[in-house]
Amino acid sequence: MRKSILLITFMLAIHAQHVFGQNELFNDVVTQTQIHAQRIYRTGGLPEEIREIVIIAVDSNANSTLPSWVNNWLTYDEEYITASTFNKYKLDITLLIDTANKAFRMPRYYLPLFNSGVGTASEPEGHVHDYRNIIAVLQHADSLFNFINYDFDGDYIVPIHFISIGPKSGGITGEIEFLTNDYDRDGNQIKIIVNRQSRASGENYFASVFLHEFGHGEFDFPDMDHDCSMAYNHYGLGGFDVMSCLGFNGHPSPYSPFLRINEEWIVPTPITSNNSNFILEEFQKNKKYICMNP
């Protein structure tokens, strides 16, 4: 019986500031950011909890009623992080909406861009949603919510993942700051930092785009593409890694074994050239990988 072992070598180059990815379905921009989601550390072997605060919006001319699949998407992505990190992390998504079952409405018409930075007041359209749209939505959200309630770690900062439903799919990591009208008991003003943005055209893309940008921003994962030129397609690993492409039939693939091993989410099983008997097992199901020491 012949055994074949496929060896894949990953060659990665990470730009100091920007890595861009483009095709007609999925585009994203990565900028270095130090603001991660809030984390709740636990003892006794329990998974570390990541609190992801999400604001959902629609375009100015779109129906703001939330699609019926939104709750399924929230559950799916939370379960994905548990499974993909081998229970090292538990994702807890808090979705902020305008009114009952309504998304926030972005007031300005804009063209979603994915390759010009995060945007500023002087160059507002340099990112996914137009800087002015994000500020307008945050102002409205500030009138509805007391963001002290979302400062879980007490550092006066509330990281926000800003997402929208609309044509074109893609995302960006970066930082947009907004000072709320909320203060804690000691007079500290609460600041919102939009640390990542995602946009998708429908249910089949939403989970993948969200998890792709989450991987960039939370775990500092790079795009797993075939090269690192300034514009390139997300097909280095095809559908086998959500950091490369959207997955299969609308279902994002887990983060690749290379990325998860690099995070030390799993311990290798060492073998040497003296080992003639070993079994190659399915990685996700059996949570095992073999490390050869010649």
**Number of separate helices (H) and strands (E) present in the chain:** 5, 11
Which tens digits make up the pLDDT trace of 242-279? 887 767 777 888 898 889 888 988 878 787 777 667 77
What are the residue ranges of helices labelled H in the chain? 70-84, 131-144, 203-219, 257-262, 283-286
Alpha-carbon Rg of the chain, whole angstroms?
Answer: 20
Closest CA to 242 of 263, 218, 224: 224
| Contact assessment for residue 224 and residue 244, using Cβ atoms and an 8 Å cutoff | yes
Q: Which of 20-34, 191-205, 269-283 has the highest mean pLDDT?
A: 191-205
User: Using alpha carbons only, what angle is made at residue 229 by residues 228 and 235, rounded to the nearest 5 degrees?
Assistant: 60
For residue 240, give the DSSP letter: G
Dist. CA 119–CA 6, nearest whole Å: 43
Closest listed residue to residue 217, CA positions, set 65, 70, 40, 33: 33
User: Given a cut of 70, is residue 81 above it in pLDDT?
Assistant: yes
Position 142 scores a pLDDT of: 97
Cα(183)–Cα(189) distance, rounded to whole angstroms?
4
Contact 113, 106 (CB under 8 A): no
Tallying the residues shown for the chain, one arrives at 294
For residue 159, give the amino acid letter: P
Q: Is the pLDDT of residue 181 over 90?
A: yes
How high does pLDDT run on average in the chain? 78
* C-alpha closest to that of 142 among 174, 109, 104, 186: 104
Does residue 259 sit in helix, strand or coil?
helix
**Contact, 53 vs 152, CB < 8 A?**
no
Q: Which of 95-104, 105-114, 230-239 has the lowest mean pLDDT?
A: 230-239
pTM: 0.80
Instruction: Determine the 3-state secondary structure of 234 from DSSP.
Output: coil
pLDDT category at 28 given cuts 50, 70, 90 is low
Residue type, 94: T
